[in-house]
Amino acid sequence: MRAVLRLLPVIASRRGLFVETVAWSVVNQAAVLTIALGLAFAVGRVVASEPLDLRVTTAALCALGVLAAAAAWRESWVSHDLAYRLIGVLRGRVFDSLRRALPARTRHRRTGDLITTVVGDIETLEWLYAHTAAQTLSAVLVLAVGGMVSVSLSPLLLLVWVPLLAIGVATPLVTARRARRDSAALAAGAATIRSELLDTVRGLRELTGADALDAQLDRITADTRAHARTQVREAARLGGERAVADVALAGAALGAIGIVLLGRDAIGPADIPLAITVAVAGLGPAAQIADLLRNAGTLRAAAERIADVLAAAPAVRPAAVGEALAGGEAAAVADKSGLVLDDVTFAYDSGRPVLDRFSLHVRPGQVVALTGPSGAGKTTAARLALRLWDPDQGSIRIDGTDLRELPDAELRALVAVVPQASPLLRGTIRTNITLGDPDATATMIDHAARAAGLLDPASGLPLGLETPVGEHGTGLSGGQRARVAIARALLREPRVLVLDEPTASLDPDADTAVMDFLARATDRATLLIAHRPDTVAAAHARIALHTTAGRHT
Amino acid sequence: MVHRRLLQLAGAVPGAILALAGLGAVLSALHIGFAITAGGVIATLVRGEGDPLPGLAALAAIALVRGTLTGVREPVATRFGAGVRIRLRRRLLARLGAVPVAERDSGQAAATVIDGVDGLDAYYTRYLPQLVVVLVVPAVVVGLVWTRSTAAGVALAIATAVAVLAPRAWDLRLLRNGRRRWERFTRLSSDYVEALQQIPLLRAFGATDRTAARLAADADQLRGSTMAQLRLSLVETFVSGMAVHVGTILAVVAALSAVVSGDTRAAGAVTVLLLARECFRPVQDLGTTWHAGYLGLTAVDGLDQLLSRRPAVVEDGTRAAPATTGSVVVDAVTYHHPGTSTGLHGLTLRVEPGETLAIIGPSGSGKSTLARLLEREIDPDAGGVRIDDVDLRDLTRRARSRSVVVVPQDPTLFAWTVRDNLRLYRPDATDAEIERVCEIADVRHVIRALPDGYDTVLAENGEQLSGGQRQRLAIARALLSPAPVLVLDEVTSALDPATERRVVDALALAAPARTTLLIAHRESACVHADRWIALRGGRLAAAGDGPPSARVLLSGGTP
């Protein structure tokens, strides 16, 4: 639980809400327990024909009933508020950390998996802090009270209580270990079925055309059945836990009756309903504790991952502002040398440098093509030019200023990129184009869009710039996406432009648009990364990278 | 949370719902039996008269049976759940063809079939059975209490009515507002995931600060509006909580008064104490399955999309013999894409067996519509499409799949092995046949470079392959089909010129007897065409012999 505690400072800002949740939860559970015990007490008195003021009892219990309901209401209100705020805080902190740390300086770790895991982890922790921790704390309290009432009635009741409590709490601990073994199979099965269903929706045309839809449905059915076998095993385990809890509660009642029978003198007749009720109702909250214990492993893992993410090292250090103001601005005006990679060495976290003393110079007005097989370091060089990472040795300069000396805002005004596969964000074409400059005027946006060929009547965009791009830009064709990405880069009017495989997904028309644009760039240094020879044809110079650690020709 | 659509679909899985509701009712009966028996035993003990042992033995027996059934309920519900998912998915996927292609790609259909059906599983195996239990069990308990003390029965009846109905009023509000809020919540979550995924892009454009601020503002706004709504809706928690507590107290006190005044036996009061809890147990259990009910509700829109439409084609052809020679006749075909002005207007066309026809024209001229009509993804509004003089509508699906095969511009590959992908149109193709078509499509070396060659399992839609490699695999796949008519819809658009040339030449040599319709906008794709036609606005604009010249392609066939 150390990791769970390590995260406490993150949620410390919401301490007040957390304490309030615990308080209302305690009031609610204590009131509910008291009502149960009070009713049992009253029944015992009346049935044993002992005197009892029914009016006072009723009034007191009804008051408790209203209090319990009010406390439950307040608790659910506060815990909802806490949950929403915690998700906000955790998401904010994780984004803040990852935006400095990503892209990860590793070649092989799948960032997509990391993100899916982290997003799930945030929800797990929200569940812990907002909906579980408080309830468990108050369950422990109520359990203690129940124990004390039992002892005060007869210490013999502990003979029933302690073993049943131990069974109730231990069962999930035992089964959790076995559950973990099945969880990988469950996740894999779900992923398989999911991808088969996606395939079916996407490939319906082919499946129907090949008369293979029924076969595909049979395949999905068979896989669902196979997956269900693991699910049923998991459910049987859960059902077993519930059965044990259910029998334990019944056992508590029977055990209490047994104690009454064996030690007739220990418990007076009027206290018998109370003794039985306290045995059952007092054990109820144990279920809450068992629930937390069952998920302890998951919770710990989630907390550890989030704590690690929050502690991740930034990919680049922010520029020292004073330095830049002294030298940077003056140099930018005087020097027009374009983009320089000077003796750059860069290695991913494991092993040999992917770029080894690599140098490159792109003058304004020039297009330099960087070619080579995948893995040779082309995209690495592009990311260094954008200062997504810093080189291990050597320096990268734009118009004479080392990128490390430029404040981020200044650097981003100098360099723009058309990334591989043209990723877009949900929104419209317009919001995507203005990603780097939300204050751009309509004229500027129009200009950039026109240059990228987005305003042609033939571009197939009925709503023009207001066309929604869909999730991950999937509402647009590959060619349309590429044009949006080009317009987005053009809007910045950058001194240095990095084009990473710009024509891989382009239709021939857009290809021409890119080339036109390249030809018109008189004041701009362009680094073109490509593998197709016809794309590179327009370049003024060509540098080929080989896989042997950034050697070039 | 009962919705017309959800009940309508429940007809597909009535067995599961009734069986699980029955199991829930039996469990409730055991709880009630336990309460009544325990009441008797406790009264015996308190009064000190009579023998409690038979009652104790009965309690132990009930507890064991109840424990067993409690343990069995979860796996049984899960097993039924798998059946529900299978039946619903088969039913919904069969309706998928009715959704227009453009909407099918938007992801809503996929979301319905995947997450929506998972939600429906929970709805039909957890929520609805429990709802049935809630409708039956509390009424029975109230009746049992009534026989012991009328006043207690009345108190419990009123309390139960409030506890059952108050949350339903909240459900009604939820039907109106909750779906939108849920949408906003999931949208915010997906925006967050997208921002994390695109951090390199955001950094490159200096947009991380703005994005963080926007996400925080959106989250805060959603929290504000949610809490404002909850301010009212959570009152339900208070009302139903109070009904449970005060109702139980008043019922027990009423029974006790009856004992004091001598109207009721002592055992009756103890039993009322224990039974009152059983009255509310199903209601509280319904609360824990509430999320399952909610999930069902979120699927309603997607279900509407799938179930409310008329299927685009009705498969009722009976002719089982596929075409053999491959003559194609498009006879005065008119088709309007719903909601647009595009389509075909009285197009007539004849292609002889073995002929290669190039079809050119600008975007929206009807080329791809023609391809969709030829594979009967859609049916013409007027006119007919015939292969070997048989209308496509008269063929069975199997016969049609052996008569004509279409390779779309953006083909789908499946997350199967490469070999299984290639065998789509001919499951019994031999390795030698597979090798041959891969040679023609110039894709053999691509497959060899994959980690397990033909046994490599592709990622979803073959995402580890480039667009050109996917196109070539799709061509190879289609070449294995026995169909005499082959329709290629811009299938070489993502290939570099040299590869395209190799593939086009090999195609022409490999299947000289096959009727080929080539939809193209590049000269290089149709160098081997015997004839060409140009479409414009869904009509035949021009035609000519031989491959279309560069000038023809540039002008779209109009002089």
Q: Which region among A274-288, B59-73, B213-227, B286-300 has the lowest average model confidence (pLDDT)?
A: B286-300
CB B238 within 8 A of CB A70: yes
What's CA A182's distance to the chain center, in Å? 23
**Span B303-315, pLDDT tens digits:** 777 777 777 788 8
CB-closest option in A213, A234, A254 to B56: A254
- 3-state SS, residue A402: strand
Second-level CATH architecture of B4-307: Up-down Bundle (1.20)
pLDDT range class, residue B394, cuts 50, 70, 90? very high
- Kindly report the nearest CA distance between residue B461 and chain A, in angstroms: 7
Q: Which value does ipTM take for this structure?
A: 0.85
Q: What is the mean pLDDT of chain B?
A: 86
Please answer yes or no on whether B192 and A119 come within 8 Å at the CB atom: yes
Q: What is the pLDDT of residue B290?
A: 76
Residues of chain A with C-beta less than 8 angstroms from the C-beta of B206: 408-409, 411-413, 436
Distances in whole angstroms, Cα of residue B140 to Cα of each of B12, B136, B137, B155, B284: 30, 7, 5, 15, 16
The pLDDT score that the predictor gives to residue A1 is 61
Contact A232 B79 (CB under 8 A): yes
In whole angstroms, give the CA distance from residue A39 to residue A56. 12
Looking at the predicted structure, is the pLDDT value of residue A479 above 80?
no
Q: In whole angstroms, give the CA distance from residue A387 to residue A397.
A: 10
| Per-residue pLDDT reduced to its tens digit, B100-138 | 665 665 567 777 888 888 888 888 999 899 999 999 999
User: Does pTM top 0.90 for this prediction?
Assistant: no
Using alpha carbons, list the distances in angstroms from residue B183 to B173, B187, B233, B295, B385.
Answer: 16, 6, 18, 12, 44
Out of A46, A196, A488, the one facing B415 most closely (by C-beta) is A196
Asked whether the beta carbons of residue A42 and residue B203 sit closer than 8 angstroms, the reply is no
> Is the pLDDT higher at B448 or at B522?
B448
Is the N-terminal amide bond of B484 cis, ω within 30° of 0? no
Region of poorest pLDDT, from A125-134, A531-540, B192-201: A531-540
Residues 155-174, chain B, touching A (beta carbon < 8 A): none
Give chain A positions within 8 Å (CB) of B496: 532, 534
Instruction: Give per-residue pLDDT as tens, B77-95.
Output: 999 999 989 988 998 888 8
Least confident of A399-408, B144-153, B286-295: B286-295
When CB atoms are compared, the residue of B64, B223, B461 closest to A84 is B223
Assess B214–A contact: CB distance below 8 Å, yes or no: no
Can you give the pLDDT at residue B315?
Answer: 82
Amino acid A301: pLDDT: 81
B510 or A235: whose pLDDT is higher? A235
B242/A200 touch (CB, cutoff 8 Å), yes or no:
no
pLDDT band at residue A378 using 50, 70 and 90 as cut-offs: confident
Closest residue in A to B258 (Cα) is A46
pLDDT of A330 over the 50 cut: no
Q: CB of B169 within 8 A of CB of B272?
A: no
pLDDT, one tens digit per residue, over A266-319 is 788 888 888 888 888 878 778 778 877 777 777 888 888 888 888 888 878 776
Residue of chain B with shortest Cα separation from A241: B71
B259 in reach of chain A (CB within 8 A): yes
pLDDT of residue B392: 92
- Architecture of the domain delimited by B328-555: 3-Layer(aba) Sandwich (3.40)
Q: Closest Cα of chain B to A326: distance in Å? A: 22
Q: Kindly tell me if the per-residue pLDDT of A90 is higher than 50.
A: yes
Best probe of the A interface among B45, B342, B365, by most A CBs < 10 A, is B45
- The phi and psi torsions of A393 (rounded to 5 degrees) equal -140, 165
Among the residue ranges A153-162, A222-231, A346-355, B276-285, the one predicted with the least confidence is A346-355
Report CB contact under 8 Å: B266, A205: no
Give percent of chain A with pLDDT exceeding 90.
10
A508/B496 touch (CB, cutoff 8 Å), yes or no:
no
Q: How far apart are the first and last CA of chain B?
A: 64
> In this prediction, what percent of chain B has a pLDDT beyond 90?
37
Residue A352: predicted pLDDT = 78
Interface residue B466 vs chain A (CB under 8 A): yes
In this predicted structure, the answer to whether residue A551 has a pLDDT above a threshold of 60 is no
Give the mean pLDDT of chain A.
81
Residue A324 has pLDDT above 50, yes or no: no
Average pLDDT of span A145-172: 84
pLDDT band at B420 (very low <50, low <70, confident <90, very high): very high
pLDDT of residue A56: 93
**Cβ–Cβ contact B22 with A under 8 A:** no
Nearest residue, CB atoms, A425 vs list B198, B223, B237: B198
Residue A332 pLDDT: 47
Q: Model confidence over A189-203: pLDDT tens digits?
A: 888 888 888 888 888
Report the chain A residue with the minimal C-alpha distance to residue B82.
A228
The pLDDT assigned to B51 comes to 86
Task: Enumerate the β-bridge partners of residue B542.
Answer: B534
Average pLDDT over residues A224-235: 92
Q: Which residues pair with B543 in a beta bridge?
A: B533
**Burial of A488 per CB tally in 10 Å (0-12, 13-18, 19+):** buried
pLDDT value, residue B229: 74
- Region B470-481 average pLDDT: 91
- What is the pLDDT at residue A490? 86
> What confidence tier does A155 reach under pLDDT thresholds 50, 70, 90?
confident
Residue A329 confidence (pLDDT): 47
Q: How many alpha carbons fall within 13 Å on the CB side of residue A105?
A: 22
Q: What percent of chain A has pLDDT over 70?
A: 84
Mean of the pLDDT values across residues B15-28? 92
Query: Are B193 and B289 contacting, i.e. CB atoms less than 8 angstroms apart?
Result: no
Contacts of B104 in chain A (CB under 8 A): 201, 204
Asked if residues B339 and B153 have their Cβ atoms less than 8 Å apart, the reply is no
Interface test with B, best of A121, A201, A216 (most B CBs within 10 A): A201
Q: A323-544: which CATH topology? A: Rossmann fold (3.40.50)
The beta strand positions in A452-550, using DSSP E, are: 496-500, 525-529, 541-544
Instruction: Please check the confidence at residue A488 and state whether its pLDDT lies above 70.
Output: yes
Question: How does DSSP classify residue B346?
Answer: E
What integer pLDDT is reported at residue A331 of this predicted model?
46
At A161, is the pLDDT very low, low, confident or very high (cuts 50, 70, 90)? confident
Segment A201-223 shows an average pLDDT of: 90
Per-residue pLDDT tens for A3-37? 777 777 777 778 888 889 999 999 999 999 999 99
- Label residue A516 by pLDDT band (50, 70, 90): low
Q: Quick check: helix, strand or coil at residue B545?
A: strand
State how far the Cα of A405 lies from the Cα of A320, in Å rounded to an integer.
7
Q: Please give the residue that has the higher pLDDT: either A431 or A543.
A: A431
> Would the pLDDT of A60 be above 90?
yes
Whether pLDDT at A334 is above 60: no
Taking residues B476-483, report their average pLDDT.
92
Is the per-residue pLDDT at A326 higher than 50?
Answer: no
The stretch B522-539 carries a mean pLDDT of 86
Chain segment B397-411, per-residue pLDDT in tens: 899 999 999 998 778
